[in-house]
Structure 1
């Protein structure tokens, strides 16, 4: 039987289409909750989770890791609902500077060091698993830069996860799109002096592709 992704019901105004959030969750037989946690750096981080409604039993856990400039809402949220309606307790966190979470100097998308972000995910996912899916199979689902974060998590927590799903993982930048040398290496110096300067040098625009 074909499974339809909830995104088919979204429109430009709302991921829930013409329904209210409460109506949307009820239609897909899931519950939704959200909360803020405070990390070791004093940032308030937005978290949310979805669990299946009876008679569907919880069979496992999926921890969702969004990508750069993303957040745990919209398409990521709809994917989480899809997992939840099929029996998984699903959790997600907005990384610092993303979505509804605090960021450094209130700058959006600014992550000077990825390691603390990995720590945030591990700590929150651990608490969620203990409360909602204790001793059940657990999986990481990641998109874009979230793929690199998820890989860091699995390397640092060997044996803690039963599987890893990488959706368009961004674990590096192709040499075709890196800025010319020595500009690439000069950017490390610039980042150390002016870490919040927004600059994205590339080799040029992507070529047009016809289908």
Structure 2
């Protein structure tokens, strides 16, 4: 099911949901999409797999992304974006039909940073989080040199919406399977241009903030990352695993895998990642029901 909803700020947000046929969902999964991405296209197939396995999946396009209202690719405030995510998913979790169910955050790439910030603002509200190649740090190879960065910071104060940040081909860096790289060209509502100055600075500041707060993460965690990821740094996922105060946490690093673990890898790797996710979810739903 899909719809448009107007949030408390008066912004029109595009939302989608996928529910198991006939049966009550085993749990609620709230999806946080990555930079430039959307809750449609690639995620459609992912969500259907979750629904087929008995989970209720809920997703939204952030303002400025996908089919939601706002300047395309523009994030004036990452904290403001997180507040919008919290508002939308809190309504779902508090609705009578889902209130008693376990609830999980599911964040991919930048969505991993969104999920972590949601948790830091709502430390006791979620059963757990699944983080797929979370953006806890942007890889050094794709960030501008220090001097260029200082120039861009200065320009951003005057021209925050301009697309001036240098960027490599993210599709090539994200997908290991070549034929799946080409499929990204058909996702016409994704944001494929150079990052806007304010957006780039918000992403950089957010990753710096998260790196400093890893020891405040306390919910059950499943962290999945490709060892050959060239967009987000897998070593910071290792640091998240080591520093998080969560007593229930699991890190899986996949040899040779790139950034897009559920969309851009060979089919056998994608199946392996899904199996790891479902095994973890089923175990944690069982734990929740036993409490």
Please state which band the TM-score falls in when normalised by the shorter chain: 0.7 to 0.9
Q: Quote the Cα distance in structure 1 between the aligned partners of 2:85 and 2:78.
A: 11
CA gap of 1:50–1:195, structure 2 versus 1, over 3 A, is: same
RMSD: 2.4
Q: Which residue of 2 aligns with 1:181?
A: 146
Instruction: Judge conservation of contact 2:13–2:68 (CA < 8 Å) in 1.
Output: yes
2:20 to 30, 39, 52: 52
Query: Hey, what's the Cα distance between the residues in 2 that align with 1:133 and 1:79?
Result: 21
> Counterpart in 2 of 1:66?
33
Aligned runs of 1:99-110 on 2, under 5 Å? 99-103=66-70, 107-110=71-74
Structure 2 residue matching 1:118: 3-state secondary structure: helix
Alignment correspondent of 1:22: none
TM-superposed deviation, 1:39: 2.3
Residue 114 (structure 1) aligns with: 78
2:133 to 168, 181, 198: 168
Answer whether contact 1:52 1:58 (CA < 8 A) is retained. yes
1:97 to 33, 52, 64: 64
- Tell me the secondary structure at the aligned position of residue 45 of structure 1: strand
CA contact (8 A) 2:152 2:165 kept: no
Per-residue deviation at 1:116?
A: 1.4
Question: For 1:170-209, what aligned pairs fall within 5 Å after superposition?
Answer: 170-201=135-166
1:157 and 2:122 correspond: yes
Contact 1:51 1:89 survives alignment (8 Å): yes
Report the Cα distance in structure 2 between the residues aligned to 1:63 and 1:89, rounded to whole angstroms.
Answer: 9
User: Alpha-carbon deviation of 1:202?
Assistant: 5.4
- Check conservation: 2:50, 2:57, Cα contact below 8 A: yes
User: Is the 1:51–1:58 contact (alpha carbons within 8 Å) kept by the matching residues of 2?
Assistant: yes
Q: Distance in 2 between matches of 1:181 and 1:59?
A: 48
1:83 aligns with 2:54: no
**Structure 2: segments with no counterpart, 5+ residues:** 177-255, 257-291
Q: Which has the higher helix share?
A: 2
Deviations for 1:92-150, whole angstroms, at most 9, x for unmatched residues? 010011111001xxx21111111111111111111112224112111011111111000
The residue correspondences of 1:137-148 to structure 2 (distance < 5 A) are: 137-148=102-113
Counterpart residue number, 1:27: none
Structure 1: which 4+ aligned runs deviate by more than 4 Å? 202-207
> Aligned with 2:136: secondary structure?
coil
Distance of 1:77 and 1:125 partners within structure 2: 18
Alpha carbons 2:11, 2:69 under 8 Å: kept: yes
